[in-house]
Structures are given as structure tokens and as C-alpha cells.
Structure 1
Amino acid sequence: MEALVEQFSLGLAIWQAIILLIVIFVLGKFAWKPIVNGLDERERGISEALASAEKAKLEMARLTNENELLLKEARAERDSILKEAKELKDKIVAEAKGEAQDASLKILEQAKVEIEDQKNKALAEVKSQVSSLSLDIARKVLSKEFENQGKQESFVSDLLKDVKLN
């Protein structure tokens, strides 16, 4: 350090101070303002970007909330539609069962009526055949019985005895 103090020159120090002041003046006049303006502009741009990012964040939060609400509404609507579809299906199935039961009851009723009709027709036919056979048998019996005139007269007198006059 002593060597430096020995080599110290007052003139050189003054010239260095003058050059330093000139450099500071020139930098202050020509470079300082543009640098400060650039820094101010950059600071403004950064603050605007931060504000814009904050706005975007708030907008994203708002959109997220809206999306959640829409999703809830869509789920509720889906559940409602599914419930209505299930109720409609149950109603259709119940109606189909009811109609099937009604149709089967009608078919059974028609079958019973038809069976009754067939039975009545069969009974009528049997009665007709029985009466026909009875008449044939009676005719044959009577014709055998009344071949003789004496038997006819005795039969008529027996019938007249059974009849009472008032």
C-alpha cells in the first residue's frame, strides 16, 4: 500500500475526477433517461401483465364456478330425465300388463260363452235325437200294442178312467 501512496499524483486524480464527472454528465444526459424510461416501461408492462394475470385468474375462477353450476344442472337434468324415463317405462309395463290381463279375461269369457253355446247345442241335439228315438220306439211299441182292436179299446177305456171330469 505504501507504494501506491508514493505513486499518487494529484494531477492524475483531478483528471480522473473530471473524466468521471464528464462520464456521469454524459450518461445522465443521454443514457440515464432512456435507461430509467426503459425500466419504468418494463415495470409498467410487468404490473400490467400481473394485473392481466390476476384478471385471468379471477375469470378462470368465475368460469370454473359457472362450469360447476352447469355441470350440477346437467346432472340434475340427467337424473330427472332418467327418473321420468323409468316412471314412463313402469307405466308402460303396468299398462301392458293390465291390457294383457284384460285381453286374457276377455278371451276366457269368450271361451266360456262358446263352450256354453257348444254345450247347449250338443244338449239340444241330444234331446232331439232322444225325442226322435223315443217317438220311434213309442210308435213301434204302440203299433205292436194296438195291432189288435180289443187291446185298443181296453187302452182307451183305461185312459178314460184316469181322466176326471170337473
Structure 2
Amino acid sequence: MREIIYKPIGIVHSPFKDPIGTPIQPSAAAGIAATVEIFQEYEEGLKDLEGFSHIILLYHFHLSKPYKLIVKPFMDENYHGVFATRSPSRPNPIGISTVKLLKIEKNILYIQDVDVLDETPILDIKPYVPEFDMNEDIKRGWLENNIHKLGCSKDDGRFSE
């Protein structure tokens, strides 16, 4: 198989300079504001994005440790396969966050409910559309008994260098 190479389209500017203490999901980061600076060459691609209340950010976990296939996630004391977790240390360290889009000024996106570290490279942006992205009959796997820990769980550095 051939190698796949992505070029960042922008960068996040957030209040989180260090992984430790950072919320581990956007729903645990309510009200936290940041900006996404889209590089000038991609600014035209933002046309019509302001009509959406939420966007999906795809990004590179630039500070994550090398991956392990079995990990102990933030919200459990048991080990799980990395693909059954949202661990940032992954074979392809790609993150995903759905955030609130407040406004766009030229190439700057003002966002809220941010769980992303400062200077995180953005790989792509997609509009969040509930009819596309929501599902019914959801199973939460091992998280079913741990989801209540989300509000008090923060990054403790276990997956960052």
C-alpha cells in the first residue's frame, strides 16, 4: 500500500497549551472558546460555512505518544483496544471534534466547546448536519457504565509526550 500524506489547512488557537487538564471531549468543554486560522490558500473554501451552527474538525494529534494497540482510556480502569477508544495515541493520530461555530471573519473561525490543544494542525472541516450525523439505537460499549465520568475527566498526560 502506498503512503498517504496530508497537508494541514489551518491551525487551532486555543487556551489549552498543555494536554494535562484539557477536556477530553467537546461536550465536557462547554463554553470554551478558540479560533481556527485557515491558511490563506484555503480561505475561499469557507464560502457558505457560516450558515451552519456546528462544524466537525478533523485534526492531527501533534503531541501524542507513539501508539499502543491496547490502552487504558481516561474514563476506565480497564484496558481496551485502541479502536474501541478515543485515545489520541493511534496508528494514524487523527482527532475529531464537533464544535459550535460562532462566526467567521475572513480566514478566522470563532468556535466554542473546544477540547483541542493550541497549535493543533487542522486537516479538514465538515459541516455538522444532524440528519447525516445522528443515529438512533446507539450502543456505547464499555463506556455505557462510564459515560457519567465525562464531566470530571480531563487529560492526565498519559497519551502525550
Greater helix proportion: 1
Q: Report 1 or 2 for greater relative contact order, CA contacts < 8 Å, sequence distance ≥ 6.
A: 2
Q: Same fold (TM over 0.5)?
A: no
> Which structure has the greater CA radius of gyration?
1
* TM-score scaled by length of structure 2: 0.14
* TM-score scaled by length of structure 1: 0.14
Greater strand proportion: 2
